[in-house]
Amino acid sequence: REARGMGDEVVAPHHLLLGLVAEDRSAAGFLASGVRIERAREACRAAVGKGGPAQAATGLATDVPFSGASKRVFVAAVEFSRNMGCNFISPDHIALGLFDLDDPTTNSILKSLGVVPTQLAKQALTRVKGELAKDGREPLGLSSFKLRDKSTAGNGRTAIAKYSNKKKEKSALAQFCIDLTMRASGGFIDPVIGRTKEIERVVQIICRRTKNNPILLGEAGVGKTAIAEGLALKIANGDVPIFLVGKRILSLDVALLMAGAKERGELEARVTSLIREMMLFFLSTRFILLLALELLEEEIRELVLISLIC
């Protein structure tokens, strides 16, 4: 719509910027910069040499193709999302991809608006961190984020490449698991009512010297997950034996584990990394049955069972 309104035939990066500003309806403006869509449109038209009023958009927004630069923004957004350990792509990821592109027109617009891309990027990262915190996750590579290095322009080394190098050094558990204990500490898990005896029994079993793997049996919806969350709450509150103080309860996100794995070798590396970091398994009978009935991906079934046997 922004491209149509300006009479352009392709969606360029500066049109993406206008779309992001229009979508951010927070009281503080676009990424807490105070920028509103009206100011952004005026600055954009001035930057591209179109001083007249905006034209009414005609036709559907899908009628306007994306330019090559705009497509690179979306590719960068996907890479940022994947390398941060996210299972979603938000406008904040697109904003990061846009800032990493280092488009001259976009930079000129931001400069005329009195905002700095690096500050906007920090705010976008803060929002992503807040979204991941709801699931007890920490974004990977957060501290290493940098926009495109002007001194290395032309050799293709952007923040995406730096992220990719960092990704190999990060914990597989942090990337593919939800930390229930962290969620409990952050107040994202409600108190568990009516499961005190079951939670205490689980604590007793875990603290045994031998045969210390509890199995929770029950139909779907009876409260098995609630018991695990109740245990996470007790650990977060320090209401556990000394043996469990500082321990974490992790929930594996199988969908995230498989997402983006294009080859068997990549999936094998992920599963192997997970198992190598685990000191204790919690395998429900339902999960074992799913493995036996081949309702999960064959690659994951084989890799997990081989690792357990070894």
* Alpha-carbon gap, residue 91 to 111, rounded angstroms: 21
| Block residue for tokens 């032309």 | 154
The amino acid sitting at 278 is M
Token pair of 103 as six digits? 């488009």
pLDDT in tens, 133-177: 776 666 555 544 555 544 444 443 444 444 444 444 467 777 778
Mean pLDDT of the chain: 75
The amino acid sitting at 119 is Q
Contact status, residue 29 vs residue 36, Cβ threshold 8 Å: yes
Residue 255 has pLDDT above 90, yes or no: no
Phi, psi of 35 (to 5 degrees): -80, 130
User: Nearest to residue 181, comparing CAs of 236, 228, 108, 134?
Assistant: 236
Domains of the chain and CATH, by start:
2-168 (1.10.1780.10), 174-309 (3.40.50.300)
In sequence order, what DSSP letters do the residues of 25-82 get, joined into one string? --TT-GGGS---HHHHHHHHHHHTT--SPPPPP-S-GGGSPBPHHHHHHHHHHHHHHH
Residue 215 has pLDDT above 60, yes or no: yes
pLDDT of residue 283: 43
Residue 71 CA to its chain's centroid (Å): 20
| Block residue for tokens 């503080």 | 28
Residue 277 has pLDDT above 60, yes or no: yes
Under the banding of pLDDT at 50, 70 and 90, the label for residue 90 is: confident
In order of 5, 172, 257, the CA distances from 262 in angstroms are 39, 17, 12
Q: Calculate what percentage of the chain has a pLDDT beyond 90.
A: 12
* Mean of pLDDT values over 1-6: 78
Residue 284 has pLDDT above 50, yes or no: no
In sequence order, what DSSP letters do the residues of 100-122 get, joined into one string? HHT-HHHHHHHHHTT--HHHHHH
In order of 107, 139, 232, 256, the CA distances from 83 in angstroms are 25, 8, 27, 12
pLDDT of residue 170: 62
* Mean of pLDDT values over 194-209: 92
Helix pair 298-309, 285-292: axis angle to 10 deg? 120
Token pair of 23 as six digits? 């979508």
Classified as helix, coil or strand, 252 is strand
pLDDT of residue 51: 54
User: Nearest to residue 81, comparing CAs of 262, 256, 250, 255?
Assistant: 256
Residue 4 has pLDDT above 60, yes or no: yes
* Mean of pLDDT values over 106-122: 89
Residue of higher predicted confidence among 87 and 38: 38
pLDDT in tens, 6-46: 878 888 999 999 989 988 888 888 888 888 889 988 989 88
pLDDT of residue 190: 92
pLDDT of residue 72: 87
* Mean of pLDDT values over 117-121: 87
Residue 291 has pLDDT above 70, yes or no: no
Contact status, residue 238 vs residue 245, Cβ threshold 8 Å: yes
